Amino acid sequence: MPPIEVRKNIYWVGVVDWNIRDFHGYSTEKGSSYNNFLIMDDKVALFDTVKKPFRSEMFHNIRRVIDPSKIDYLIVNHVEMDHSGLVPEVIDAVNPERVFCSAKGKEALIEHFHRTDWPYEVVESGREISLGKRTVQFLETRMLHWPDSMFSYIKEDRLLISSDAFGQHWATTERFDDEVDEPELFRHAAKYFANILLPYSSLIQQLISNVTDMGLEIDMIACDHGLMWRKNPGKIIEAYDTWSRQQPKRKALIIYDTMWQSTETMARAIEDGLMQEGVSVKMMNLKFNHRSDVLAELLDAKAVIVGSPTLNNGMMPTVSDILTYIKGLRPKNKIGAAFGSYGWSGESVKLITKALEDMKIEVIDSGIKVKYVPDHEALHPCVDLGRKIGAAVNESVSG
Ligand code: FEO
């Protein structure tokens, strides 16, 4: 894909990755892109690189704008290797005057590439450098996504190069928000937030407040993955504000696996009870729903009800997987409970309940076990559990 001029003399020189389907556990079923940017000014600056296998394509894109040896500055906003993978090759080809990064960025670059001889220049939040006609202001954004992360704000263009923040894993030939279907774009952005940035919600709240305090005026957000935001960049900032507040809707998620449909039958009875209370329900059988799609739904759900039959004195591997994954992403303001069928030992409900408690989900019922196959009578308590959780959802969620 050719370079795109996103602002006068500012070029996208990245690559679209149509084939990636797994991003360390996140299902990227629509691919992704690695966006990096070249500013042509008195000093020529390259902002980040791309994933290593795309070396030829990235250099080809840069060459279509300028001879790479004419680049003066390399700015490393983020050291994760989807953005820094080609830093050594760029430094070899460019021999830059300076490599700008945060203090944590310098540490991480040395720990990744073991080169202490590069011309590092550490920058802190608020530091400005001039490229000639343009000024770059740096803003450290620790843990968004790694300790080294920072934004680069181009004052004269009101352009925020935002690293991982505001991105989406979505491969397209279009590069801007106004060129694609907006609801689909926001679905990808929400899934990305839920699976990558959710644990850092309080930092995002702080960041939004800092950006407001600094009075940064933003006409365009150039993120490192997916589509860039130029139609109304305020809309994705508002969405981040909403998502990071973690104020759930009147919605419940039933996540389960099943062996012989007993646990699934229980799930449907719980769904029945929740619906009687007017709560929106998403049923997610883990055989058919990827963990990262579960998290996208969990983002605005109040209740998470987890079911597994007992297998070998434990729970189904898919259920164990999703509990580990949810725990790492540290959702807040959720209530939950466990359910499941069993044959003789029946440990799964107890184990799931403990896992929910460990991740600080408020368990509002000790859970329901059914031996072998539930009959009509055995399903009554499941419906009651749904109603109990539904009532609790209604009590805690207004509007
Ligand atoms: Fe897209 Fe944290 O790397």
* H or E segment and range at residue 135: strand 135-140
Instruction: Please pick, among 177, 188, 225, 297, the residue that the annotation labels catalytic.
Output: 225
Q: With beta carbons less than 8 A apart as the criterion, state whether 161 and 153 touch.
A: yes
Q: How many CB atoms lie within 10 A of CB 294?
A: 21
* Residue 37 main-chain phi, psi, to 5 deg: -135, 145
| Per-residue model confidence as pLDDT tens digits over 286-334 | 999 999 999 999 999 999 999 999 999 999 999 999 999 999 999 999 9
0.75 surpassed by pTM: yes
- 82 catalytic per annotation: yes
Atom of ligand 1 nearest to the CA of 164: 1
Catalytically annotated residue among 120, 140, 145, 153: 145
Percent of the chain with pLDDT over 70: 99
**DSSP for 293-328, written as a single string:** HHHHHHTT-SEEEEE---BTTB--HHHHHHHHHHHH
Using DSSP's 3-state secondary structure scheme, residue 282 falls into strand
| Ligand 1 centroid to residue 167 C-alpha, Å | 9
The finding on whether 48 has its CB within 6 A of some atom of ligand 1 is no
- Nearest residue (CA) to ligand 1, atom 1: 164
> Which ranges in the chain belong to alpha helices (H)?
55-63, 81-84, 87-94, 103-113, 182-192, 201-214, 233-245, 262-276, 291-298, 317-329, 348-358, 376-396
DSSP 52: G
Ligand 1 centroid to Cα of residue 248, in Å, is: 27
Q: Which residue has the higher pLDDT, 211 or 287?
A: 287
In short, whether 51's Cβ falls inside 6 Å of ligand 1 is: no
Q: Which residues pair with 317 in a beta bridge?
A: none
CA distances from 107 to 51, 121, 141, 152, 162 (A): 20, 12, 16, 19, 21
Atom of ligand 1 nearest to the CA of 145: 2
Q: Is 177 a catalytic residue?
A: no
* Cβ neighbours around 135 below 10 Å, total: 15
* Cα 119 to ligand 1 centroid, rounded to whole Å: 23
Average pLDDT for 123-147: 96
What are residue 176's DSSP bridge partners?
A: 228
The token duo for 109 is 């670059």
SS3 281: strand
Mean pLDDT in residue range 24-31: 96
- Length of the chain in terms of residues written: 399
In which band, very low, low, confident or very high, does the pLDDT at 399 lie, cut at 50, 70 and 90? low
CA proximity to 35, closest of 63, 21, 16: 16
Q: Would you say the CB of residue 78 lies under 6 angstroms from ligand 1?
A: yes
Q: Tell me which residue has tokens 């040395």.
A: 110
26, 120, 192, 256: the catalytic one is 192
The DSSP secondary-structure symbol of 354 reads H
Tell me, in angstroms, the distance from the centre of ligand 1 to residue 213's CA: 26
> What values do phi and psi take at 311, rounded to 5?
-130, 120
Single out the catalytic residue among 82, 224, 293, 365. Answer: 82
Q: C-alpha angle 145/39/34, rounded to 5°?
A: 40
CA distance linking residue 107 with residue 149, whole number of Å:
12
**177 CB near ligand 1 (under 6 Å):** no
CA–centroid distance, 144 to ligand 1, in Å, is 9
* 196 Cα nearest atom in ligand 1: 2
Is 145 assigned a catalytic role?
yes
pLDDT reported for residue 210: 87
* Summary count for the chain: helices (H), strands (E): 12, 22
pLDDT for 214: 85
| Terminal C-alpha separation, the chain | 45
Question: Is 60 among the catalytic positions?
Answer: no
Residue range 213-231: mean pLDDT, rounded: 95
User: And the tokens for 165?
Assistant: 């923040």
C-alpha 207/C-alpha 4 separation (Å) is 29
Kindly name the residue from 17, 41, 48, 80 that is annotated as catalytic: 80
* d(C-alpha 73, C-alpha 62), whole Å: 14
* Residue 212 pLDDT: 84
Please tell me the predicted confidence (pLDDT) of residue 367: 98
179: Cα separation from own chain's centroid: 22
Q: Which two structure tokens, joined as six digits, stand for 21?
A: 């389907």
CB 136 within 8 Å of CB 159: no
Average pLDDT of the residues of the chain: 97
* Structure confidence at residue 257 as a pLDDT band (50, 70, 90): very high
Report the nearest atom of ligand 1 relative to the CA of 163: 1
Mean pLDDT of 32-42: 98
Measured from the Cβ of residue 391, the count of other Cβ atoms closer than 10 Å reads 16
Asked if 12 and 39 touch (Cβ cutoff 8 Å), the reply is no
Q: Is 70 exceeded by the pLDDT of residue 178?
A: yes
Q: What is the pLDDT of residue 129?
A: 98
- Give, in order, the Cα–Cα distances in Å from 18 to each of 1, 49, 58, 101: 11, 18, 15, 29
**Pocket lining: 82 vs ligand 1, CB cutoff 6 Å:** yes
Distance of CA 297 to the CA centre of its chain: 13
Helix (H) or strand (E) holding 235: helix 233-245
The answer, yes or no, to whether any atom of ligand 1 lies below 6 A from the CB of 145, is yes
